[in-house]
């Protein structure tokens, strides 16, 4: 079934979920690559408009939506507790799941699509690119704080929503398999990119080996820390809420740091086709490092601090490899908007990796300045 077909019963979901007020309209919303997201509005008797986010969960990627929603309910309940303790705004500083009329946290419709809804967080923006260094700094504080807030959350209670999500060597194996199978006969056209990855097989193992030997600790992490997974308050410019909690799982702090750098400290967008525009903006790297360490409040170990730049390099390499793998397999994972879109995204990531390789010393010096 196509994504459009999966969304065709949205009316059932609107009926099943316990939204307050009279239905007004719904529109597609945001620019995520994975779920189908809608902004939906309901009118109250007093004329006020209630807004919600309604999402069709991508159950081809998240194979167990029930476990996924249990994670999200547990994590958001925990966060609400922590936010309330510090007298924060529990309706804006964490996601709030809207139950179904039957009291569940999601709805499965008659064609097998899974739906969930959240309170819409108003007067806040998610950016697809960093416009102001201050926004990037604030996102760093929020992602660091998110990890810090969850430091006492029981990691054993979390389901692994996508097993081996940031296991880079496993991703490499999947990539090699895709080149061998070459189902779309696209491998011949991307020999340069394939070679790029083959030359870097060894470096991909570094973090997983440190995890195995205990040099890097396993923490509860977000695992998808790109700039558009954070909402920035329109008025104050502060980070309001970390969103897109589908991949909250045990993981590495340096990967949360790294994925943000990959997306936000690129001088170009994730899918820029003019590769001369792509590079690591070292000032933005510095802003993010500063903010992330403020948010983490001293909870990172010396090895984690040492390896932050490597986290950025590896997340960029891994993401480029995932885009290339999806391109080779026929673009089934990441939503594409044009022919060759995943290949464009891959090339952008690889160009950024090369620039990071040249700037590793500079990155290390910046981390040393703020640790
Ligand atoms: P995906 O996994 O597809 O990236 P997200 O959960 O990140 O899906 O949602 C897509 C976009 O929808 C976000 O980038 C953000 O702009 C918007 N969004 C999601 N949840 C909310 C919310 N509770 N309030 C306001 N905007 C939201
Ligand atoms: C996806 O869901 P979204 O658009 O925030 C992906 C991330 C990638 C990112 C690349 C569950 O993130 O891992 O880094 O695209 N999420 C999943 O833009 O695979
Ligand atoms: Mg997202």
CA of 128 to the centre of ligand 3 (A): 10
Q: Is the CB of 97 under 6 A from ligand 1?
A: no
Q: What is the pLDDT of residue 138?
A: 97
Q: What is the pLDDT of residue 156?
A: 87
In tens, the pLDDT along 156-215 reads 899 999 999 999 999 999 999 999 999 999 999 999 999 999 999 999 999 999 999 999
Q: Is the CB of 248 under 6 A from ligand 1?
A: no
Q: Is the CB of 118 under 6 A from ligand 1?
A: yes
CA of 243 to the centre of ligand 1 (A): 6
β partners of residue 280 = 266
Structure tokens at 209: 């080996």
Chain length of the chain: 371
Beta-strand (E) ranges in 195-286? 219-221, 230-233, 239-242, 249-251
Question: Which residue from 6, 27, 30 has its CB within 8 A of the most atoms of ligand 1, so it is best to mutate?
Answer: 30
Q: Is the CB of 318 under 6 A from ligand 2?
A: no
Q: What is the pLDDT of residue 159?
A: 96
Domains defined for the chain, CATH in brackets: 3-121 (3.30.200.20), 133-370 (3.90.1200.10)
Q: Is the CB of 295 under 6 A from ligand 2?
A: no
Q: What is the number of the ligand closest to the CA of 233? A: 1
Distance CA 310, CA 288 (A): 15
Distance CA 34, CA 31 (A): 9
Taking residue 302's Cβ as centre, other Cβ atoms within 10 Å add up to: 8
Q: What is the number of the ligand closest to the CA of 346? A: 2
Name the residue at shortest CA distance from atom 4 of ligand 1: 32
Q: Is the CB of 121 under 6 A from ligand 1?
A: yes
Low-confidence ranges of the chain (pLDDT < 50): none
Structure tokens at 5: 């077909």
Q: Is the CB of 270 under 6 A from ligand 2?
A: yes
Ligand 2, residue 31: give the atom nearest the CA: 4
By the 10 Å C-beta count (0-12 exposed, 13-18 middle, 19+ buried), 70 is classed as middle
Residue with tokens 């309604």: 54
Q: In Å, how far from its chain's centre is CA 365?
A: 27
Beta-strand (E) ranges in 202-313? 219-221, 230-233, 239-242, 249-251
CA of 81 to the centre of ligand 1 (A): 22
Question: Which residue from 3, 28, 31, 32 has its CB within 8 A of the most atoms of ligand 1, so it is best to mutate?
Answer: 32
Taking residue 114's Cβ as centre, other Cβ atoms within 10 Å add up to: 21
Q: Is the CB of 94 under 6 A from ligand 1?
A: no
CA of 20 to the centre of ligand 2 (A): 31
Residue 39 near residue 24 (C-beta atoms within 8 A): no
Q: What is the number of the ligand closest to the CA of 325? A: 2
182: alpha, beta or left? (left if phi > 0; alpha if psi -120 to 50): left
Name the residue at shortest CA distance from atom 12 of ligand 2: 33
Q: Is the CB of 229 under 6 A from ligand 1?
A: yes
Structure tokens at 317: 């390499």
Beta-strand (E) ranges in the chain? 22-28, 36-43, 49-57, 97-98, 107-108, 114-119, 124-125, 219-221, 230-233, 239-242, 249-251
Residue with tokens 């929603």: 69
CA of 253 to the centre of ligand 3 (A): 19
Q: What is the number of the ligand closest to the CA of 248? A: 2
3-state helix, strand, coil in the chain (%, to 5): 50, 15, 35
| Three-point CA angle 279, 284, 285, nearest 5° | 80
β partners of residue 114 = 57, 108
Q: What is the number of the ligand closest to the CA of 62? A: 2
Q: Is the dihedral of CA 68, 71, 74, 80 positive or negative?
A: negative
CA of 251 to the centre of ligand 1 (A): 22
């Amino acid at each position: 079934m196509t994504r459009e077909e999966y969304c065709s019963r949205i009316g059932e979901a609107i009926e099943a979920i316990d939204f307050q007020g009279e239905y007004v309209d719904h529109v597609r919303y945001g620019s995520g690559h994975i779920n189908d997201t809608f902004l939906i509005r309901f009118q109250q008797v007093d004329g006020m408009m209630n807004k919600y986010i309604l999402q069709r969960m991508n159950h081809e990627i998240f194979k167990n939506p029930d476990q996924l929603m249990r994670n999200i309910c547990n994590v958001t309940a925990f966060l609400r507790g922590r936010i309330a303790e510090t007298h924060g705004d529990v309706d804006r500083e964490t996601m709030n799941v809207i139950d179904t009329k039957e009291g569940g946290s999601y709805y499965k419709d008659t064609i097998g699509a899974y739906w969930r809804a959240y309170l819409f967080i108003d007067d806040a923006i998610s950016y697809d690119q960093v416009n102001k260094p201050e926004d990037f700094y604030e996102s760093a504080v929020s992602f660091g704080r998110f990890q810090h807030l969850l430091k006492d959350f029981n990691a054993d209670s979390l389901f692994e929503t996508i097993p081996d999500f940031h296991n880079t060597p496993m991703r490499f194996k999947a990539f090699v398999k895709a080149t061998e199978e070459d189902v779309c006969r696209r491998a011949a056209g991307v020999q340069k990119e394939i070679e790029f990855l083959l030359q870097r097989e060894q470096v991909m193992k570094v973090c997983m080996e440190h995890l195995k030997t205990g040099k890097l600790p396993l923490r509860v992490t977000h695992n998808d820390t790109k700039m558009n997974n954070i909402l920035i308050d329109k008025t104050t410019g502060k980070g309001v809420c970390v969103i897109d909690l589908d991949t909250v799982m045990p993981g590495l702090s340096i990967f949360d740091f790294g994925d943000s750098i990959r997306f936000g400290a690129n001088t170009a967008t994730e899918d820029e086709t003019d590769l001369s525009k792509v590079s690591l903006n070292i000032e933005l790297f510095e802003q993010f490092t500063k903010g992330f360490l403020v948010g983490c409040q001293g909870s990172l170990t010396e090895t984690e601090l040492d390896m932050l730049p490597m986290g950025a390099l590896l997340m960029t390499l891994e993401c480029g490899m995932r885009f290339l793998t999806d391109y080779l397999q026929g673009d089934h994972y990441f939503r594409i908007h044009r022919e060759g879109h995943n290949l464009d995204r891959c090339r952008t990531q690889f160009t950024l990796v090369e620039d990071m390789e040249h700037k590793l010393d500079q990155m290390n010096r910046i981390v040393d300045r703020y640790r």
